[in-house]
Amino acid sequence: MLQNYLKITLRNLWRNKAFSFINIFGLAVGLATAMLILLWIQDELAFDNFYAKKDRLYMAWNRNLVDGKIACWDVTPSLLGPQLKKEYPEIVQTSRLDWTSPQLLRVGKKSLHVPGTFVDSTFFRMFDFDFLQGNPATALNQINHIVITESLARRLFGKANAMSKVIRVENRDNFVVNGIIRDLPKNTLFEFDFVLSWSYLQKIGQDYAYWGNNSYRTLVEIAPNTSLASLNAKIKDITIRNSDEKEQSEVFLHALSRRHLYSKFENGQEAGGRIEYVRMFGIIAALVVLIACINFMNLATARSEKRVKEVGLRKVMGATRIDLMGQFLGESLLITLFALLLGVVFAELSLPWFNELTGKNLYIQFGNGLHWLAALVFLIVTGALAGSYPAFYLSSFQPILCSKAPSGPFAPPCRPASCW
């Protein structure tokens, strides 16, 4: 029976090439659009959400009254991190972070301007970046150690092994490569090609360490099962207690994995952010698929009169309404499958342009089982949604009227049966 339905479906598609093209092409465009949006949403939701300790990694924020409103900002004094670790056993370790403008790196006659950052030696123990060479626990133990990305290693040293090689920074000091990490993904807060130790920042006099200087970011790892609300209540006055400058800012910890999507604060409380765009585009993706499905249903229903005799003959031959519904839903699923495959092609071809538009590095993970599962669910739901009304409508025709129904553009429609 299934083989027979497949033959009938393919025959109908071939005989009605224009209809088939419009239906499949329209559905494919809708599905491709939805795929691109969903890839963007997936990337946004995964922002800084891929670290092993993601549930225990936080960033320290300040909160204070500014122009009559409570404002929040994510830069803090460099003294904050060490003091937090000293006072509170719930805090496992901290790392300060200071981005630099592009620095001049020189190897022999080759020189590059690339962005970097200064961090404490604990940084690579908190964040599990993929080390291709070197030990994250000891990568920045010495003041003259530098960690570089894989792409920077290739740019500076070509195919030669960069480990233990010397890089001169800003024509001032030499550093020994003590770690090479895989290039950072686009969906992370961190943007650097090289990392230097905080000790070196202190050596060159650029760590302005006083409580009134909110210029650095403070990253915090808390112990498992720590109550964030309780810890925030304890640490909120740490700046006030330690500052000699009548500093009134309160400190609180905010989950690093939420910083990208929930960085909007109102009256001192989290109030959304980019998550609003994620929700909006999620609704748009659903509406695009829904409109494509409605278009499919309208086209299928519009040409249903051409199949009334087929329905009547099948019912006379003993086909039940369930059989007919199964056939038409099967046709819908097959058309949706063709549209889905074409939609994947459209999405793949559109990705370079879409990545340029969004500033991301999105791609379809063909080897990802979850993507195939999502495609299967997408196929079933979309096929069932698009084919449900035509299946119910066509299978409801009365066999006697259908078999006698005249054909032609001016023929009266064969009405669905009112009872069974």
Question: What confidence tens digit (pLDDT) does each residue in 360-392 have?
Answer: 999 888 887 877 887 888 788 877 776 676 667
Backbone angles phi, psi at 367, to 5 degrees: -90, 5
HSE-CB at 321 with a 13 A cutoff on CA atoms is: 13
Q: Measured between alpha carbons, how far is 32 from 81 in angstroms, rounded to an integer?
A: 47
Region of 205 on the Ramachandran plot (φ > 0 left; ψ -120 to 50 alpha; else beta):
left
Backbone angles phi, psi at 144, to 5 degrees: -100, 20
Q: How many C-beta neighbours within 10 Å does residue 392 have? A: 15
- Residue 418 has a pLDDT of 41
- Residue 366 has a pLDDT of 84
- Residue 408 has a pLDDT of 47
Furthest CA-CA distance within the chain: 97
- Residue 252 has a pLDDT of 97
- Residue 308 has a pLDDT of 63
Q: Measured between alpha carbons, how far is 183 from 131 in angstroms, rounded to an integer?
A: 10
- Residue 420 has a pLDDT of 37
Q: What is the DSSP string of 162-230?
A: -TT-EEEETTTEEEEEEEEEPPPPSSSS---SEEEEHHHHHHTT----STT---BEEEEEEPTT--HHH
- Residue 417 has a pLDDT of 45
Q: What is the DSSP string of 108-161?
A: TTEEEEE-EEEE-TTHHHHS---EEEE-TTTTTSSTTEEEEEHHHHHHHHTTS-
pLDDT along the chain (420 residues), means of 10: 65 72 87 93 92 96 90 95 97 95 93 96 95 96 97 95 96 96 93 96 94 95 96 94 82 95 90 94 93 80 64 65 71 84 94 94 85 82 72 63 50 46
